[in-house]
Amino acid sequence: MKNLDRRNFLKSSILGAGAAVLAKPAIAATRRTVSGSEIITRKLGNTGLEIPVLSMGVMRADNPNIVKAAMDAGITLFDTAHGYQRGENEVMLGNLFKDYKRDSIIIQTKVPPGDRRNEPSDKSDSEIRQAFLEKFEISLGRLKTDYVDILLQHGAGNREAVLKEPVMDALLQAKKDGKTRFIGLSTHSSEPEVIRAAIEAGIYDVITVAYNFKQDHRAEISSAMADAAKAGIGFIGMKTMAGGFMDQEKTRPVNAKAALKWALQDPHLTTCIPGFTAFDQLQLDTDIMTDLELTPEELQELEISSEVIGLYCQGCLICTGQCSKGLPIPEIMRSYMYAYGYGEMQKARETLDEYGVQENPCAGCTGCTVKCTKGFPVAERIADISRIKNVPFDFLT
């Protein structure tokens, strides 16, 4: 038997990807009113924090008035780092935030685990731990606060970095001392490996992850995020603009609003931190705080086919409990997306296995009781994807 790749599987499918429906997404979220507008908020993993879907990456903003305007617009989470503008970024935020009620703002900062370059360090574990905590103390001083809400290890690029004991010890120590409420890491390379290592580590509350519509491995990231979400880890998206341009010549700017909306279609992403430096960018981005619906025109601008986007289960969970046989519908729809959207056949099968979905799970049902808010033909998709259970795992690619 030949390995069953995406092409062969789709060829033998009754439905195929063409039947995908593009409809209004339903996101698992709540809304709160700011200045008369209903802002969409989401929970950040198990932290208990409920955050608007738009936050601010402050890294390049040297004008505190932009941060003020972002606060007025309802943004509550501000991301900075020990190294941004060599500390001046944290200083600017500290000078501004000292005049605000501390609990009205969520401050996230990032501390590098070692020297800038990815070279082996001759420092002992104790020195690495101490250096990390010293840098963090400097950051607290610049930010003029006794604590931050989220402290991240800056730029973890592989499993080894995530599991580096002296850095984990330092993060835990900072949390124990009440100098940070939550701990985590940021990553913009080997994201799936990093996320899975974070699950393994068992100490991280938050991951700030590069996630955008251009990444070849976005399905893997999405899948890893879904697994980490089960472990209670919350996600914050960065680099959603995918470099800012659609082409290498940099003649066609990315539609920022569309790119943000695209990223936030993933229900496991709580918020994004675009780095706006101008009021008009802020205004444009804040539009998504009340409306995450991707229009066909926006999809076209992102050069994503409507067939593919129509495969996204948003994980709204509204269908939970609707199936008379108790099937895990969102997970089966996710499995369908892996197979038909990304050709990730093994991942599709693993997802079904994980949730105990059997071959022909709808057998015996005379009519489907599930009503998908996105209009997915749920019974047909279950019939299609569950056939993968017939295929020996080793034959899947």
Q: Does 245 bind another protein (CB under 8 A)?
A: no
Burial of 2 (0-12, 13-18, 19+ CB in 10 A): exposed
Residue span 261-300 as binding mask against another protein, x where in contact by CB under 8 A, dash where not: --------------x-xxxxxx------------------
DSSP at 12? T
Q: Which residues 115-144 are close enough to bind another protein by CB under 8 A? A: 115-117, 123
Q: Which stretch binds another protein (CB under 8 A): 181-189, 197-205, 361-369, 386-394?
A: 181-189
Q: Does 56 bind another protein (CB under 8 A)?
A: no
CB 282 within 8 A of CB 73: yes
Nearer to another protein, 11 or 117 (CB): 117
Angle subtended at Cα 318 by Cα 316 and Cα 322, rounded to the nearest 5 degrees: 140
Nearer to another protein, 183 or 323 (CB): 183
Angle subtended at Cα 213 by Cα 278 and Cα 188, rounded to the nearest 5 degrees: 75
Tell which one of 25, 45, 52, 57 touches another protein (CB under 8 A). Answer: 57
Nearer to another protein, 156 or 171 (CB): 156
Question: Helix, strand, coil shares of the chain as percentages rounded to 5?
Answer: 40, 15, 45
Nearest-approach distance from CB 68 to another protein, in angstroms? 8
Distance (Å, whole) CA 36 – CA 32: 10
| 294, 243, 57, 183 alpha-carbon torsion, rounded to 10° | 100
Q: Which residues 342-371 are close enough to bind another protein by CB under 8 A? A: none
CB 373 within 8 A of CB 26: yes
Q: Does 186 bind another protein (CB under 8 A)?
A: yes
Q: Does 85 bind another protein (CB under 8 A)?
A: yes
Q: Does 22 bind another protein (CB under 8 A)?
A: no
Q: Does 177 bind another protein (CB under 8 A)?
A: no
CB 9 within 8 A of CB 388: yes
* Residue owning tokens 């931190």: 273
Nearer to another protein, 62 or 160 (CB): 62
Nearest-approach distance from CB 287 to another protein, in angstroms? 16
Side chain identity at 183, as an amino acid letter? Answer: I
Strand locations in 188-326, DSSP E? 206-210, 234-238, 269-272
Nearer to another protein, 85 or 373 (CB): 85
Q: Does 259 bind another protein (CB under 8 A)?
A: no
Q: Does 251 bind another protein (CB under 8 A)?
A: no
Q: Which stretch binds another protein (CB under 8 A): 79-87, 326-334, 336-344, 384-392?
A: 79-87
Nearer to another protein, 173 or 277 (CB): 277
CB 246 within 8 A of CB 253: yes
Q: Does 87 bind another protein (CB under 8 A)?
A: yes
Q: Which stretch binds another protein (CB under 8 A): 54-62, 197-205, 216-224, 260-268?
A: 54-62
Distance (Å, whole) CA 239 – CA 243: 7
Q: Does 377 bind another protein (CB under 8 A)?
A: no
Please list, in sequence order, all residues whose beta carbon lies within 8 angstroms of the beta carbon of residue 80, skipping any fewer than 6 positions away. 58, 59, 89, 90, 93, 107, 108, 109, 110, 143
Q: Does 237 bind another protein (CB under 8 A)?
A: no
Q: Interface with another protein by CB under 8 A: which residues?
A: 57, 59-63, 65-66, 68-69, 81, 83-88, 110, 112, 115-117, 123, 154-155, 186, 188-189, 238, 275, 277-282
